[in-house]
Amino acid sequence: MRPHIVPFIQAVQSALGQGLRVLDVGSFKATELCVRDMLNTDVVGLDMREGDGVDVVVDITKLHLVSLPPQLSEKFDLIFCVDTLEHISQPHQAVNRQRRYPSGNRN
């Protein structure tokens, strides 16, 4: 993640508070900065490759073709997709697949 994105993520954390369930699409920790380290909440990391910051390895454009792992079976309050879409051959499919995870109150 590029440093100029940090203030945005900090502002989101401040505005939304604690206890959120967050999906981080493209979570592979390629630099010292990642969403998981910045947010004090439940973050599920999804990426196409294994590595630091990744909980679920799956191609976001092919979610409709695979059985969802337990980490992805519940709703998310927030989805981050930072510095990711430019690396995907069909970014519009990646965005459409993320709609599988509508937000909502989990009361």
pLDDT score, position 101: 55
CA distance 76 to 41: 12
Band (106; pLDDT cuts 50, 70, 90): very low
pTM of the complete model beyond 0.75: no
Burial class for 101, CB neighbours closer than 10 Å (0-12, 13-18, 19+):
buried
With a pLDDT cut of 70, the percent of the chain lying above it is 81
Residue that wins the pLDDT comparison between 12 and 65: 12
pLDDT at residue 79 greater than cutoff 80 = yes
pLDDT score, position 11: 87
User: What is the rounded average pLDDT of the residues 63-72?
Assistant: 73
CA distance 44 to 62: 18
CA distance 32 to 92: 28
CA distance 44 to 68: 13
Phi, psi of 90 (to 5 degrees): -130, 75
User: What is the rounded average pLDDT of the residues 62-66?
Assistant: 70
